[in-house]
Copies of this chain bind each other. A is one copy, B any other.
Amino acid sequence: MTESAESSAGSSAGSSVPPRSSAAPAARVPGLHAVVPAGGAGTRLWPLSRAGSPKFLHDLTGAGRSLLQQTVDRLAPLADGVVVVTGERHAAAVLDQLPDLRGSVLAEPSPRDSMAAIGLAAAVLAEREDDPVIGSFAADQVVEAGPAFGEAVRQAVVAARAGYVVTVGIRASGPSTAFGYVRTGEPLGLADAPDACRASGFTEKPDAATAAAYLATGEYRWNAGMFVVRASVLLDHLARLLPVLHDGLREIARAWDTDARDDVLARVWPGLQRIAIDHAIAEPVAAEGGVAVVPGDFGWDDVGDFASLGDLVPADAEGRHVLGDADAVLTLDAARPVVVPGSGRLVAVLGLDDAVVVDMPDALLVTTRAHAQQVKGVVDAVRAAGRDDLV
């Protein structure tokens, strides 16, 4: 099996999400403040997604709402508030999509990875609220918004109040090689969160054999990067593990709701360390026994590539997965095509199974589902060819 085929099989395995699941009534979780990091270019979805028009701003499931909007739609009924952290470049587009969030969009002057993004939100909320619990949920994932999601968040908040950094472990629908895994340890014994367990560790994306071995143990779940934690707990860990980053974020947070915000941001932000929250907090704290995992038994996908997107976009009567105007697509002797007709032109596919055709006004990608994970290489080549205008 080739690496690409593995990757494809892996990412396909994640796609058990009903794309248009009806929003079920969710019970509010008092004290929870949702944080939505909206970053990342979605490189593997080029040329649909790109730095200037990233994945989270797109409707990638045909639901009529962008991934960002769907994320906020899902969280708003649960939380006391929703804060979006995004780049300055995208703040206007975020507010266009979410006009109700004016005042709740934190704009980063430059990308500083997920620890700075989530840490900034935690520090700002810690200034604004009384010991808030924050729940961080990426803006570019597809999640089945139903009772199971609400229950996972509820138990996660209980465990967070008990002092844990809590992650949601997604029930794996197959041995995906596209996701990292979290390993579940012994139950925490929390009365109101009976399913919460200690997290005994995190893994990077495994190879196929390792992924299969993980699943055989019954102990591993997909790490969706969802973190629920008291802001004070997160900031205390940060102060201990990355004190300079902590102090910088705290200084910015104190100035955030004042006239000094821009000055402090301009002075402090550029020097902040770039690090993912996984490496900054989750892994070292898990090693200390301070991370909990609650099971997430709901459909989830990170729409990491076009194979995944193809599984999320419902097939039409001809078995085609068209994100956009199906009348603009004509297929003949071509099974399971994934087509994004994004330029207004007619797209005709003949004699290719599992083709991926992404037709944008300035760039066209032709590939197959099996090569979906390698689209990043195309973007690298586009950049190497001096066409930064296209990425």
Contacts and interface: CB of A to CB of B under 8 A. Distances in A.
A140 interface: no
A97 interface: no
Q: By CB atoms of chain B within 10 A, which of A348, A357, A368, A375 has the most?
A: A348
A377 B375 CA distance: 30
Nearest to A350: B367
A327 B382 CA distance: 11
Interface string A354-381: 0101011111111110110011011001
Contacts of A345: 343, 360-364
A359 B358 CA distance: 12
Interface string A229-241: 0000000000000
B374 A333 contact: yes
A350 B330 contact: no
A351 interface: yes
A355 to B, nearest CB: 6
B371 A364 contact: no
Nearest to A337: B366
B330 A371 contact: no
A332 interface: yes
A317 interface: no
A203 interface: no
Contacts of A275: none
Contact of A366 (B366, B371, B387): B366
A306 to B, nearest CB: 10
Contacts of A47: 346, 348
A173 B378 CA distance: 38
A333 B390 contact: no
Q: Which one of A361, A364, A367 has the highest number of Cβ atoms from chain B below 10 Å of its Cβ?
A: A364
Nearest to A363: B346
27 contacts: A47-B348, A330-B382, A332-B374, A333-B374, A345-B362, A347-B366, A348-B363, A348-B365, A348-B366, A348-B381, A348-B382, A349-B367, A350-B366, A350-B371, A350-B374, A350-B377, A351-B370, A351-B371, A352-B352, A352-B355, A352-B366, A352-B368, A352-B371, A357-B364, A357-B366, A359-B364, A366-B366
A371 B352 CA distance: 9
A366 B355 contact: yes
Nearest to A341: B364
A385 interface: yes
A346 B387 contact: yes
A313 to B, nearest CB: 18
Contacts of A368: 350-352
Given A330-B378, A349-B366, A352-B352, 6 more contacts: A346-B390, A350-B375, A351-B374, A352-B355, A357-B366, A364-B364
Contacts of A377: 332, 350
B378 A364 contact: no
What are the 4 tightest A-B residue pairs by CB atom distance, in nearest-first order?
A: A351-B371, A350-B367, A346-B363, A348-B365
Contacts of A332: 374, 377-378, 381
Interface in A43-98: 47
A110 interface: no
Contacts of A347: 363-364, 366
The winner among A47, A346, A374, A390 for most chain B CB atoms within 10 A is A346
Nearest to A2: B351
